[in-house]
Amino acid sequence: MKKTTLAIALIAAASFSTTAIAQEKKINPWKQCGIGAMVFDDNPTAAALSNIIWDLGTTAVSSNVSSQDSCEGAEATVGIFIKQNFDAVVEQVSQGEGDHLNAMLDILAVEGDARITAISNVRANTADAMANDSLTAEGLYNIVLENI
């Protein structure tokens, strides 16, 4: 299960580092960068790309050097991060603290009081989604972006 998640993340990273196309208007990275559409174990592309190595470090993850509106931006990066680390992020949102939660907000450059508020709001909204049995990685991604 976790290996599949890792493969997805690598494919996502590969997609972003090879399709670094600046967009003129703001995009929804989850949908338009294909984070939600990443397919899994038996996809031959997954096999071909699972050895992709020079992936996130030099471009996509760093919000400092990438465009906010492209598939290299912070929003796309946080989308991959949530997709890849979904279980850990949900656990830590439920606890209201943790390294993955902090890393997610660091990617989005949410700091100080804004971070405290964001954590509180993300926790409350994620709790509601859990209560409705409707929490998905995309749902959590949207909750995070709506509350920063």
> What residues line the site for other proteins (CB under 8 A)?
1-3, 5-6, 9, 47-48, 50-51, 53-59, 61-62, 64-65, 81, 84-85, 87-88, 90-91, 94-100, 102-103, 106-107, 119-120, 123, 126-127, 130-131, 133
Q: Which lies closer to other proteins via its Cβ, residue 28 or residue 43?
A: 43
Q: Which lies closer to other proteins via its Cβ, residue 25 or residue 132?
A: 132
Q: Which lies closer to other proteins via its Cβ, residue 33 or residue 105?
A: 105
> Which own/partner contact pairs does 81-88 have at CB distance under 8 Å and 24+ positions apart?
81/107, 82/137, 82/140, 82/141, 82/144, 83/5, 83/8, 83/9, 83/12, 83/35, 83/38, 83/137, 83/141, 84/5, 84/6, 84/8, 84/9, 84/12, 85/5, 86/5, 86/137, 86/140
CB of 30 to other proteins, least distance (A): 19
CB of 17 to other proteins, least distance (A): 11
Cα 141 from chain centre: 7
Q: Which lies closer to other proteins via its Cβ, residue 24 or residue 51?
A: 51
CB of 2 to other proteins, least distance (A): 4
What are the residue ranges of helices labelled H in 19-66? Answer: 29-32, 44-49
